[in-house]
A and B are shown apart, each in its own frame.
Chain A
Amino acid sequence: MSTQEEKQEFNITVYTENQIGLLNRIAIIFTRRKINIDSLNTSPSEVSSVHRFNIVINEYEDVVRKLCRQIEKQVEVLKVYYHTNEDVIWQELALYKLSTDVIAEKISVERLLRENGARAVAIRKDYTVFETTGHREEIDNLINILQPYGLIEFVRSARVAIIKDSEGFNAKLREFERLEPGEDVIENEFLNEGDKVFTM
C-alpha cells in the first residue's frame, strides 16, 4: 500500500449488517470531519444479510486509516478495508438518453457510441438509452462527445470496486453466515396501518 504523503483516492470497503440507520452512522464519521464522500455504493453482498459499502474519498492515507478504525468500531460493522486505486479493479456504470431520430439520422453518433463501448439497453420511438461502464474519465469523455447531439438525460452510478488481493473473501463470508445467520431487518409495519395500532 502506498505510504506517500499526499491526498489520493481511496476505496473503502465496508462489510456490515443490514440495519436501518447504519448508513447514517457511517456517513457521519466523514461529515463530522468535513470530509466529502466522492462516491458511495451500498448493496447486499453475495451473502444477503451482509451488506457491502464501497466508499470513495480523496484523503491522506493516515486520515483514511483512522476513519476505517472509527467505522470498524461501529457495532454493526463486520470489517473494513481501504485500498488505493491501484489495489482495486473498479467500474462505474452510466446511462445516456438520446433522441432516436438523432441516432437514426447521424451515422457518426452510432459510430461514436460503438467506439466508446456503449450498448443500447432500450430503443423507443422517441428515445434510445445507451449504457457504458468504465472509469470516471471514460464516462465523462462520452458525455462531452454526446453533448452536441442533444443528450436528453444522463445518470451515473456510484463506483463499485473489486479488491485485487481478496483471496478467500467469499468463502470466509459464507462460513461466517453459516455459523451464525444474520437477522432480518425489521421495518415499521404501522406507517399505513394506524387503525390497527389502537385496536391492539
Chain B
Amino acid sequence: MEVAQQQEVLKPAEKPAKEVTGSVALLEALIVEGVETIFGYPGGAIMPIYDALYDYSDKLDHILVRHEQGGIHAAQGYARTSGKVGVVFATSGPGATNLVTGLADAQIDSTPVVCITGQVFAHLLGTDAFQETDVINITTPITKWNYQVTDANELPEVIAKAFYIARSGRPGPVLIDITKNAQIQKFQFKGYTPCKHIRSYRPKPIVRPQYIQQAAELINQAKKPFILFGQGVILGSAEKEFQAFVEKSGIPAAWTVLGAGAIPTDHPLNVGMLGMHGNYGPNVLTNECDVLIAIGMRFDDRVTGRLDKYAKQAKVIHLDIDPAEIDKNVKSTVPVWGDCKETLPLLTQAIESKTYPEWLQKFHDHTKQEIDLVIQKELNPTTDEMTMGEVIKQLNEITKGEAVIVTDVGQHQMVACRYAKFNNTRSNVTSGGLGTMGFALPAAMGAKYGAKDRTVVAIIGDGGFQMTLQELGTIMQSNIDIKIVILNNKFLGMVRQWQELFNERRYSFVDMQSPDFVKLAAAYGIAGKSISERTNLPATLQEMLDHQGPYLLEVMVTKENNVFPMVPQGCSVAEIRLK
C-alpha cells in the first residue's frame, strides 16, 4: 500500500473562538476562500443562510437568478473565465434537484463549482418532510464529492474540504447539503483555515521521470508527430508551458472543443479543431501520424469516432492528471501521469528543437481542400440568406479575437467553435461533454462576472435560448453587460441535419416556432434588434458591441444549412466527409 510521504500536519495556532451560527461561519469561510460572487435562489430550507447574507451584502455579491439551473450554469461560466471556484446557493427539494443538469455538466467538463444546498431539519431527514429530497444520493454520480452537514461544528472543515476538492487536481463540482438546524445552530467558531491536504486524496499523481524520458525519445524519433490538446492545459494554467513545448517541438497541434484558446487561433502550429465537426486535416492526419501526443484531453467519442480505427498506426503519449483517463479509451504507449504544468516543462527540456515542414504542409494542403469545399461558402456565401459562419467571421473582425465567446449546443456551437478567433485562454465557454442546451445564456452571465473587463458574447440557437430564457430577468435586474446573439434558423438545426443525412429527411419534431425575441428582450428592458439582411450585419454587430449594457441580436440565418466537415457516427476520423 502506497502511503503519502506526509510530514505530521502541524495544527494551526488556535484562534480565539467566538459564538456564531452555522450560517455566519459559512459566509466567513466563503470570504476567506476569496469568493466574490454567489449565484443563488432562496427558499425555505436555506433561509437562515440568506438571513445571514443580508448583513454580508457589502462583502459578498449575490446574484438572484431565475432558476437554480441558471445559477449553476452561471457559476460554471464564472469558473471557466476566472479560473476560480463558482459558488451556488439553492434550497432543498426542487431547488436542489434543479442543480442536477449543471452538476452533471460541471462533472463531465471538470468545472470547479461548490453548491450549497439547504436541507430540512436533521430530525426530519427521511420523513418525507416538505421539500425534502435525498440530494446527496441524487448527486453522488455527478459530483466529485458531496457531504451532508447536520451539525454546525462540522461546517468550517467541510467547507474547506469542498473548496480544496473542487479546485485541486482534476477540478469538479462539490455539493454541500446543510440541514436547517445546522444553519441556525450557534457554536464556538475558531476561525476558518483553508484545506491543503486530505489524507485519502491525491489530487495529482507523482511525476515519473522514466516516462518523461520515454516520451521524449519517442518524440525525438518521430517523423510525423501530432499534438492533441484539451482543457487540461487551461485547467492546469499551463498555457505558457504548452506553447513553449509546441514551439520547441515544432509539432502541429490540434484542439478539442474545450481546449480552444489554450494557444492562440493564429499560432502557426495551431492546425485546428478535432472531432466530429472539426477540421479536415487534424481528423484525417490522426490516422497518418506516427506519434500522437495527447495533452489534457480524454479521447471523447466525439473526438475519436470509431475507436477500433483510431490512430492504430501511432504510438500514443498521453499526458493527464487523472490516472483513470490513461488507457480508458485509447491505449497509451507511454503514460505521462501528472499535472501538465509540471510534466510539460520536463518534456520540453528533454526533447530536441525541430521542425516538420513537409508534415505541416500536409495539414495546410488539407486546410486548402476544406476552404474550397466548406469554409469558403460558409464564410463568404453567395446565397441570399445569411449563414452562421459569416456572423462569426464578422464578429471576429470587430472583436479581433479578444472577446469571450459563450456558446450553447448544436449547429451554432460547432460553427462558433470552428470559426471564432481566440487570442486568449479562458475565452471559449461551452458545454462540451454533456451538451446541455440552455447552457449559454446563464453561463454568459457568470462568464461576465468572472471576466468583468472583457466583452462577453453569447452565441445561442433559437432552441437552446428558449430553454433558459428566464435568465433575461437576471440580466435585467443585475444589469449584466452581455451581448446575446441568437442564430435563428427556425429549426433544431443539428437534429434536423442528422435527420436529413441519416433519416431520409424525416423531420421529426425539429420545426421550431419562436416568439418575437426582440419584443421579449424589450419586455425585460433589454435593447435588441433582429436582422435578416447581410448588409445590416456589420453595423448591427458594431452597434451591439458599442451598446452600454446587455443587448440581444437575433440574426435570421438560412434554414437548412449543414455543419461540415462531419465524421458520421460509427465512422473513423479518416472517413470525415466534406459534404
Contact = CB atoms under 8 A, between A and B. Distances in A.
Contacts of B151: 186, 189
A119 B285 CA distance: 69
Contact of B200 (A16, A173, A186): A16
A193 B145 contact: no
A173 B200 CA distance: 12
Interface stretch (A3-11, A145-153, A175-183): A175-183
B200 A179 contact: no
A76 B1 contact: no
Contacts of A66: 324, 327-328
Interface in B190-221: 198-201
B510 interface: no
A62 B66 CA distance: 46
Contact of A191 (B122, B140, B201): B122
Contacts of A131: none
Contacts of A200: 181, 184-186
A193 B150 CA distance: 13
A197 B146 contact: no
Interface in B72-118: none
B383 interface: no
B165 interface: yes
Contacts of B17: none
Contacts of A95: none
Given A28-B140, A66-B328, A190-B121, A169 B323 contact: no
Among B165, B201, B323, the most chain A Cβ lie within 10 Å of the Cβ of B201
A118 interface: no
B9 A180 contact: yes
Contacts of A193: 123
B121 A197 contact: yes
A173 B4 CA distance: 11
Contacts of A142: none
Given A15-B1, A73-B324, A180 B199 contact: yes
A161 interface: no
Given A66-B324, A190-B121, A75 B150 contact: no
Contacts of A168: 1
B204 to A, nearest CB: 12
B154 A186 contact: yes
B323 A191 contact: no
B198 A75 contact: yes
Interface string A47-74: 0000000000000000001100110110
B140 A24 contact: yes
Contacts of A20: 148
Nearest to B161: A75
Interface string A73-113: 10111110000000000000000000000000000000000
Given A21-B136, A173-B1, A180-B9, A194 B124 contact: yes
B141 A75 contact: no
B22 to A, nearest CB: 10
B199 A182 contact: yes
Given A78-B1, A194-B121, A189 B150 contact: yes
Nearest to A20: B148
A24 to B, nearest CB: 6
Contact of B323 (A73, A76, A79, A186): A73
A61 to B, nearest CB: 12
Nearest to A178: B8
A75 B2 contact: no
A28 B154 CA distance: 26
B322 interface: yes
Given A189-B122, A190-B121, A75 B184 contact: no
Contacts of A24: 137, 140
A138 B316 CA distance: 47
Contacts of A69: 323-324, 326, 328
Interface in A132-159: none
B144 interface: yes
Interface string A11-40: 000011100110011001000100000000
A161 to B, nearest CB: 16
Nearest to B199: A180
Interface in B119-150: 121-126, 136-137, 140-141, 144-148, 150
B154 A75 contact: no
- Summarize A's interface: helix, strand, loop or mixed: mixed
A188 interface: yes
Nearest to A194: B123
Contact of A169 (B1, B124, B181): B1
Contacts of A2: none
A32 B141 contact: yes
A64 to B, nearest CB: 13
Nearest to A193: B123
Interface string B249-275: 000000000000000000000000000
Contacts of A175: 3
B181 A28 contact: no
A131 to B, nearest CB: 31
B6 interface: yes
A77 B186 CA distance: 33
Contact of A72 (B136, B150, B323): B323
Nearest to A15: B1
Contacts of A180: 6, 8-9, 199
B244 to A, nearest CB: 30
A25 B146 CA distance: 10
A71 to B, nearest CB: 9
B52 to A, nearest CB: 15
A175 B5 CA distance: 11
B2 to A, nearest CB: 7
A16 B140 CA distance: 17
Nearest to A200: B185
Contacts of B145: 75
Contact of A75 (B122, B123, B165, B322): B165
B443 to A, nearest CB: 26
A164 interface: no
Contacts of A17: 200
Given A188-B150, A190-B150, A197 B165 contact: no
Contact of A79 (B2, B137, B165, B322): B2
15 contacts: A16-B200, A21-B140, A21-B147, A28-B140, A69-B328, A75-B144, A78-B199, A176-B1, A179-B8, A180-B6, A180-B8, A182-B199, A190-B122, A190-B123, A197-B181
7 closest residue pairs by CB, A with B: A194-B123, A190-B122, A69-B324, A190-B123, A172-B1, A197-B181, A176-B3
Interface of A: 15-17, 20-21, 24-25, 28, 32, 65-66, 69-70, 72-73, 75-79, 168-169, 172-173, 175-176, 179-180, 182, 186, 188-194, 197, 200
Given A25-B140, A73-B322, A191-B122, 17 more contacts: A17-B200, A69-B323, A69-B324, A69-B326, A175-B3, A179-B6, A179-B8, A180-B9, A180-B199, A186-B151, A188-B122, A188-B125, A190-B123, A190-B181, A191-B123, A197-B123, A197-B181
